[in-house]
């Protein structure tokens, strides 16, 4: 099964905007009520059996089941029968809010996340229509429950044969967006190792270095607008909460953050396509970026967003039939790519690799990228050919 998500800019009317905002408000209420119900159940279980709290006690029957998705969905159905506001919103849309909360609750245990947050008017940003009876798209319009026919900027056509399975409406600082999930019933084979091999080493001095000797400079996405953000956030500190001035200033700040994120993502996609055009196999390091984000250079690491880049690179590699593999990151900066001799640990100020055993000299990051490529070739079972100049290439 082949699945894609296409993003479009919505062009709703004033009445449709009002309906979107009303729907988001009801979704926020459902989320907060369901989350409060789960938290109350947990707090009731924390009560001591031989003592009472000096502040308050949660009085819930001992045989009350945990309010999971199925329990809360059943309660929502009963509530919709007596509540006209809930009844005015698509039932499946509200059920998806409960499903999202259920996943967030499971992530506490599975992914070691914190408790889900209560939503205010700003934090609830999207809702989803999980299914359609027929194709809802005609030209540059889409028919959504409650909203009717909504125009959108059709920046690219939906491929022939794909069916629209879901639609998500997202509110951002720059307007409203439509996320269309499309599906085609076809089996796609994963890429196999073939062609030219390319190793990639990432860093903060240069954004990345390839085993072919190419160095990519690091664009500083956040630093370019940091001064303006700092000024606006300083003004925000003096604005009265819930005032219109604070709301407008918050929106200006959100637009700048959105511009930074969009610029960074555009760079990542263009760079990923450029790399995949050069090779049939791409090898990178299996780095834990969470630990990188806690170091002295955490601000620059988060600005570079290497984790997002690797995700995009893996997706583009799959789409362009390029084999992608993560290899062991250990000792990539200490091993010589020409003779595989392990040297000592290099200082950050040492930007050149000089092998005392074979005399091979090259840029430090390029040498690490070549070691990554060699590890990748060994992992896929292909031979590593070496020549007198120290250049390494795959036998394929």
pLDDT band at 355 (very low <50, low <70, confident <90, very high): confident
> Of 177, 128, 113, 165, nearest to 2 (Cα)?
165
Q: Is the pLDDT of residue 75 over 50?
A: yes
In three-state form (DSSP H/G/I as H, E/B as E, the rest C), the secondary structure along 353-383 is EECCCCCCEEEHHHHHHHHHHHHHHHHHCCC
pLDDT band at 198 (very low <50, low <70, confident <90, very high): very high
pLDDT of residue 387: 36
Please tell me the total number of residues recorded for the chain in this structure.
396
Average pLDDT score, the chain: 89
pLDDT of residue 30: 96
Rounded CA-CA distance 286/55 in Å is 49
Average pLDDT over residues 290-306: 85
DSSP state of 335: B
* Residue that is written with structure tokens 């989803």 in the block: 128
* Residue that is written with structure tokens 């491929």 in the block: 159
Alpha helices in 111-239 (DSSP H): 226-236
> Of 382, 381, 287, nearest to 328 (Cα)?
287
C-alpha R_g of the chain: 27
pLDDT of residue 45: 78
Q: Is the pLDDT of residue 384 over 80?
A: no
Q: How open is the CA angle 346-214-392, to the nearest 5 degrees?
A: 75
Q: Is the pLDDT of residue 392 over 90?
A: no
Lowest mean pLDDT among 8-17, 178-187, 286-295: 286-295
Collapsing DSSP to helix, strand or coil, 271 comes out as helix
Average pLDDT over residues 320-337: 90
Decide: 132 and 90 in contact? Cβ < 8 Å: no
pLDDT band at 395 (very low <50, low <70, confident <90, very high): very low
pLDDT of residue 44: 81
Rounded CA-CA distance 18/130 in Å is 22
Rounded CA-CA distance 386/290 in Å is 36
How many whole angstroms from its chain centre is CA 132?
26
pLDDT of residue 318: 94
Tokens of 28: 């926020």
Rounded CA-CA distance 265/315 in Å is 13
Collapsing DSSP to helix, strand or coil, 111 comes out as coil
Q: Where are the beta strands (DSSP E) in 126-278?
A: 126-129, 137-138, 141-144, 148-153, 163-172, 175-184, 197-202, 208-210, 215-216
Q: What is the pLDDT of residues 171-193, one digit of tens each?
A: 999 999 999 999 998 888 889 99
Lowest mean pLDDT among 76-90, 216-230, 338-352: 338-352
Query: pTM of the full predicted structure?
Result: 0.86
Q: What is the pLDDT of residues 118-140, one digit of tens each?
A: 998 888 999 999 999 889 999 99
pLDDT of residue 308: 94
Tokens of 317: 């590699």
Q: What is the pLDDT of residues 25-69, one digit of tens each?
A: 999 999 999 999 999 888 887 766 666 666 766 778 878 889 999
Contacts of 32 (CB under 8 A, 6+ apart): 118, 119
> Of 31, 33, 63, nearest to 45 (Cα)?
63
Rounded CA-CA distance 138/144 in Å is 12
Q: What is the pLDDT of residues 244-269, one digit of tens each?
A: 999 999 999 999 999 999 999 999 99
Decide: 387 and 370 in contact? Cβ < 8 Å: no
pLDDT of residue 390: 40
């Amino acid at each position: 099964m082949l699945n894609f998500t296409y993003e479009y800019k919505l062009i709703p009317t004033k009445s449709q905007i009002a309906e979107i905002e009303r729907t988001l408000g009801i979704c926020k209420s459902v989320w907060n009520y369901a989350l409060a119900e789960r938290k109350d159940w947990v707090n009731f279980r924390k009560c001591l059996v031989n003592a009472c709290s000096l502040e308050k006690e949660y009085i819930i029957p001992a045989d009350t089941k945990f309010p999971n998705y199925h329990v809360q969905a059943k309660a929502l159905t009963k509530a919709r029968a007596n509540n006209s506001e809930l009844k005015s919103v698509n039932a499946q849309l509200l059920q998806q809010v409960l499903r999202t909360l259920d996943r967030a609750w499971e992530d506490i245990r599975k992914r070691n996340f914190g408790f889900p947050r209560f939503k205010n008017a700003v934090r609830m940003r999207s809702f989803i229509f999980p299914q359609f009876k027929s194709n809802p798209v005609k030209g540059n319009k889409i028919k959504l429950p409650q909203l009717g026919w909504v125009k959108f900027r059709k920046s690219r056509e939906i491929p022939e044969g794909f069916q629209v399975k879901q639609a998500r409406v997202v509110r951002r600082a720059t307007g409203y967006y439509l996320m269309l999930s499309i599906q085609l019933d076809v089996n796609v084979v994963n890429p196999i190792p073939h062609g030219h091999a390319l190793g990639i080493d990432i860093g903060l001095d240069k954004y990345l270095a390839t085993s072919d000797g190419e160095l990519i400079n690091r664009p500083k996405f956040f630093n370019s607008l940091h001064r303006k953000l700092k000024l606006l956030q300083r003004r925000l500190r003096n604005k009265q909460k819930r005032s219109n001035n604070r709301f407008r200033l918050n929106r200006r700040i959100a637009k700048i953050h959105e511009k930074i994120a969009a610029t960074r993502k555009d760079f990542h996609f263009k760079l990923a396509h450029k790399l995949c055009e050069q090779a049939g196999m791409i090898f990178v390091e299996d780095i834990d970026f969470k630990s990188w984000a806690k170091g002295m250079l955490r601000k620059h690491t988060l600005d570079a967003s290497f984790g997002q880049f690797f995700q995009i690179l893996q997706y583009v590699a799959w789409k362009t039939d390029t084999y992608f593999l993560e290899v062991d990151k250990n000792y990539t900066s200490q091993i010589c790519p020409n003779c595989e001799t392990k040297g000592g640990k290099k200082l950050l100020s040492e930007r050149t690799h000089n092998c005392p055993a074979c005399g091979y000299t090259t840029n430090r990051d390029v040498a690490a990228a070549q070691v990554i490529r060699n590890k990748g070739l060994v992992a896929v079972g292909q031979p590593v050919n070496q020549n007198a100049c120290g250049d390494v290439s795959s036998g394929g």
